[in-house]
Amino acid sequence: MDKIFFHVDVNSAFLSWSAIRQVQAGREDLRLIASAVGGDEKSRHGVVLAKSTLAKKAGVRTGESLFSARKKCPELVVVPPEFDWYVKNSHAMISIMQDFTPDVEQYSIDEAFLDMTGMEKLMGAPLEAAEKLKSRIKNELGFTVNIGISNNRLLAKMASDFEKPDKIHTLFPEEIKDKMWHLPVGELFGVGRSTVKALNNMGFYTIGNVAKADKQLLRSRLGVIGDTVWDYANGIESTPIIRKETKENSYGNSVTTGNDITTPQEAVAILLSLTESVAGRMRLDGKKAGVVAVTLVDSDFNRRSHQCSLGFTTNTTDIIYENAVQLLYDMWDDKPVRLIGVSAGKAVREEYEQMSLFEDEHADKLKKLDAAMDEIRDKFGDRAVVRARLLGSNGPGGLSNAKARSKKGGNHE
């Protein structure tokens, strides 16, 4: 039996989810104007986390500073991120997916893979099932998704990146030549800016050029990544694009930026956003974690991760964030980054919490702060309260706080 995978990707997730909230409050739909989700638009260090189609046409890019975005698009409407609301939308989407298959692998807050192998009798043919899934998400939750269909996760993900929004695309092995090989090599999954430059210097400009190249030549010029690039160009998922270490006792979130992140200050701003959603999900599930990890993927597709053991369990945003910042600075090597991820592992139920030897009045205040913010957001919406650090710079101050916290607990590896 041939394997069948769906890759579901929310169209402009943060922007779409914030737009739904705006419409519910009687305000203009962000999807129809030049808009972005990010920090304070007056801050030189706030970054664009998501942008609308009109903002994109004006040259606004995900990951760039809001100061820069404002110069390109003076009329840009900027709203702060609402991570608890995003998590709720993500959970609701996953819940619908689980009506289609028990095998759902969440790839990020706005992406998931579905193993639909053998589900035809229950859900219909792949295209029919995908249409049902896409329609349910749109009708019940109010946002659109793209769905890619293929025999492996790599090709399903590539297919979901074809024409957007609100589309379904197939990319089966026999369709690779016609649908994928004509694309610029930079659109191949995992190929960053420096790899594109290296391939262009070798005379390879399309995915098809790479697919038909001598694999030994690619390996000699690019190292081990040459094998992966050649395999991916031929639709072979030789290096899994989703890792199986994600378990029920681990909570994570990651974001692939639209352009390279070149400074740790930019990365830290995004890291806080990710930590908010990770900690919020743990609190919703009544879990606390004892390990924090940060993952970076650079523009050459090199992945590296650092983690630390806290010595106690927590779901407090600030404590997870401060340790994550320390990890990020410890591993930062000035290479441009395309993916940033944070996770909290070895999570346990709150009733089994291992108390820290360093539990103090400050930690208790942080817990109360999270509880108060959760309560306010639940009653009045996620925008009712936003952390000050999401509205401004997350540079050296965040690092010093992290270093101070790391002295209280956290064996960094």
Residues with a catalytic annotation lie at 111
Distance of CA 147 to the CA centre of its chain: 17
CB 286 within 8 A of CB 349: yes
- What is the helix (H) or strand (E) element at residue 36, kind and residue range? strand 35-38
Query: 13-24 and 83-97 are packed helices; what angle lies between their axes, rounded to 10 degrees?
Result: 110
Q: Which two tokens stand for residue 329?
A: 């600075």
What's the sign of the alpha-carbon dihedral 379, 380, 382, 388? negative
Cα gap 401→413, rounded to integer Å: 19
Which residue(s) pair with 340 in the sheet?
A: 255, 296
Q: Which two tokens stand for residue 136?
A: 């349910």
Cβ-based neighbour number of residue 202 at 10 Å = 15
- Catalogue the long-range contacts made by 95-102 (C-beta closer than 8 Å, 24 or more residues apart): 96/133, 96/136, 96/137, 96/140, 96/141, 97/8, 97/133, 99/136, 100/129, 100/132, 100/133
